[in-house]
Amino acid sequence: MQKSATFVRKEMLQAQEPPTSERGAIKWVRENLFSSALNSVLTIVGLVAAFLVIKAALPWLLHSVWNANSLGECRDIIAARYGEGATGACWAVVRERWHQYLFGFYPQELFWRPTMAFGLMFVALAPVLYYGNQRVNTIMTGVVSILTILALIGISLAFPQTIGGVEAGALAVLVAALVLGGLTAVAWLAPKRLLYFTLLYPAVGFYLLWGGSIWGPIGTLAGFAVLVVVYNLTKGQLGVVVGTGAGVVAAAIWWLAIQSHVTGALHSVLPLGTAHVDSDEFGGFLLAFVIGVTAIAASLPMGILLALGRRSDMPLIKALSVGFIEFIRGVPLITMLFTASLLLQYFLPPRSNFDLILRVIILVTFFSAAYIAEVIRGGLAALPRGQYEAADALGLDYWQAQRLIVMPQALKISIPGIVSSFIGLFKDTTLVALVGLHDPLQGVTKVVRAAIEWKGIYWEPYIFVGLIFFACCFSMSRYSMYLERKLKRDHR
């Protein structure tokens, strides 16, 4: 028997643990915080800066006071509780003035109307935002309904009102429960039908916010009915193009010439309606949302048309689009707002006098549409030429090609840009304070800070307003990321 000279290991050795410096938290710290001299310095500087901020802000936040009637009282409470010289946040200002931040100078007994309009807005948006995702759709409608009803109950408790012996808040909650319950049932049983409510929402929202005679919004809706009827009647004989034109002309005649007489007559026969609220009573986040949401909804279609116009083969259309876009992008938004408040009175017919909020919405829409047009033009330019040629080869006409082939792809590419324009627009609604509207930032905060009991307060109101804006804008940008993921078609 021969001895083997070499040693051959038969079994595998157990893997040893990595050295302590190469595992666990130590490894992570070494790699992520102290990988080089520069990184170590940066880490320490960053930590020190964060520590200083927290050291200043944390006691201030921990010493918050929610129950007080003035800044002086707040300071007294803080001094009594935490000793002389202690600093603390005085959130009592938010507690006392929250309704002004949310609704401005809207009549208190009507707070349920903007609340309802806000809740219904999300119900109307659900089928658009989560198109094709019926489960999310239904859940969102249900959740929004519950939240709206809770908000209404809260408002009716905060501002108890009785009209003719009946608790007005309870009545509003009852109406809201019925309407929202019905909508949730629709969302549950026939989710596609909810889109009809979306189409109807602008009129509903307008009526809830401004109130007045019910015949005004109905008359405006009737104009759209006239459009559809005339289009359907003439389409057979004259074709789609002339039919559309005839419909638009007929609707315009209805809106401009006939509507006011008809609605006036109807109102005198059957005066249905609710209390009217003037535009200058709007304020706070209500105003920001009215301007922001309307302008966002209106500027997207306008931006699409402008982008198409800019890429058109027709020189005149192209020149007009380019002129419009470049002019608006060249001037600051403030000049547009001042145009709305000062110059429109020169450009419109004498003695015509329409609402400042409406004028501001129109000009903000123009402003945003020009930026969105440029974003969409980028999306259109990014589309390969083959897509247009394929659409032509299939025999699609211009609008069919745009609707079925080009726009779905171009819009998908431009989603991040469009959403960041929307975020910019929503932030820019604060500028309306400069033309005398009561936006949450300048308008309302100025009023609050001018009040004798809150003189000298600055961090708390601005942090409150900033947080709400942050929540809105941040959720918009997260939604755009969701949409990008959902619409992603390439498999990389």
Partner 1 sequence: MAYVASAPKEPFRLSMLVYDTRYRSYTIQIVVLFLFLAFLAWLLNNTIENLAAKDKDINFSFLFQRAGYDIDQQLIPYTNDSTHGRALFVGLFNTLIVAFFGCILATIIGVFAGVLRLSGNWVVARLMTLYVETFRNIPLLLWIILAFVIFSETAPAPRDFRVTDEMVAAGEAPSAHKILFDSIAFTNRGMNIPRPYLDHPLGSINVLDVPINLSGLAVLALIAIGMWVNGRLLGHAKAVQEETGIRPVTWWKSLVVLFVPVIVLLFALGLHWEIPELKGFNFQGGINVAHSFTALLIAISLYTGAFIAEAVRAGILAISRGQTEAAFALGLRPGRTMRLVILPQALRVIIPPLISQYLNLTKNTTLGMAISYLDLKGTLGGITLNQTGRELECMLLMMAIYLVLSLIIASGMNVFNTAMKLKER
Where along the sequence are the contacts to partner 1 (CB under 8 A)? 31-33, 35-36, 38-39, 42-43, 46-47, 49-50, 239, 241-242, 313-317, 320, 327, 329-335, 338-339, 342-343, 345-350, 423, 427-428, 430-431, 433-434, 441-442, 445, 456, 458, 462, 465-466, 469-470, 473-474, 477
Residue 42 or 80 with smaller CB distance to partner 1:
42
Q: Which residue, chain included where needed, has tokens 């547009």?
A: 336
CB of 285 to partner 1, least distance (A): 12
State the Cα–Cα distance between residues 474 and 476, nearest whole angstrom.
5
What amino acid is encoded at 246 in this protein?
Answer: A
Residues in the chain: 492
Helices (H), 331-397: 333-338, 344-347, 356-382, 385-393
What tokens were used for 475? Answer: 């959720």
Q: Is 265 exposed, middle or buried (0-12, 13-18, 19+ CB in 10 A)?
A: exposed
Residue 5 or 38 with smaller CB distance to partner 1:
38
Residue 50 or 150 with smaller CB distance to partner 1:
50
Residues 6+ apart with CB under 8 A from 451: none
Residue 133 or 420 with smaller CB distance to partner 1:
420
CB of 231 to partner 1, least distance (A): 16
CB of 419 to partner 1, least distance (A): 12
Show the CA angle centred on residue 380, arms to residues 374 and 386, nearest 5°.
165
CB of 487 to partner 1, least distance (A): 20
CB of 46 to partner 1, least distance (A): 4
Angle (deg, nearest 10), helices 194-210 and 215-238: 140
What tokens were used for 439? Answer: 């936006």
From 173, 179, 177, select the one nearest 161 (Cα to Cα).
173
Q: Which helix or strand (DSSP H or E) is residue 95 part of? A: helix 92-103
Residues 6+ apart with CB under 8 A from 39: 33
Residue 47 or 390 with smaller CB distance to partner 1:
47
Residue 128 or 242 with smaller CB distance to partner 1:
242
Strand, coil or helix: 355: coil
Residue 24 or 154 with smaller CB distance to partner 1:
24
Residue 267 or 311 with smaller CB distance to partner 1:
311
Residue 186 or 363 with smaller CB distance to partner 1:
363
Residue 299 or 445 with smaller CB distance to partner 1:
445
CB of 427 to partner 1, least distance (A): 4
CB of 371 to partner 1, least distance (A): 10
State the Cα–Cα distance between residues 446 and 284, nearest whole angstrom.
11
CB of 342 to partner 1, least distance (A): 4
CB of 332 to partner 1, least distance (A): 4
Residue 192 or 329 with smaller CB distance to partner 1:
329
Across 297-318, b (16+ Cβ under 10 Å) vs e yields ebbbebbbebbbbbeeeeeeee
CB of 219 to partner 1, least distance (A): 24
What amino acid is encoded at 404 in this protein?
Answer: L
State the Cα–Cα distance between residues 116 and 108, nearest whole angstrom.
14
- Three-state SS letters, 273-320: EECCCCHHHCEHHHHHHHHHHHHHHHHHHHHHHHHHHHCCCCHHHHHH
> Residue 84 carries which DSSP code?
T
CB of 279 to partner 1, least distance (A): 21
Q: Is 114 exposed, middle or buried (0-12, 13-18, 19+ CB in 10 A)?
A: buried
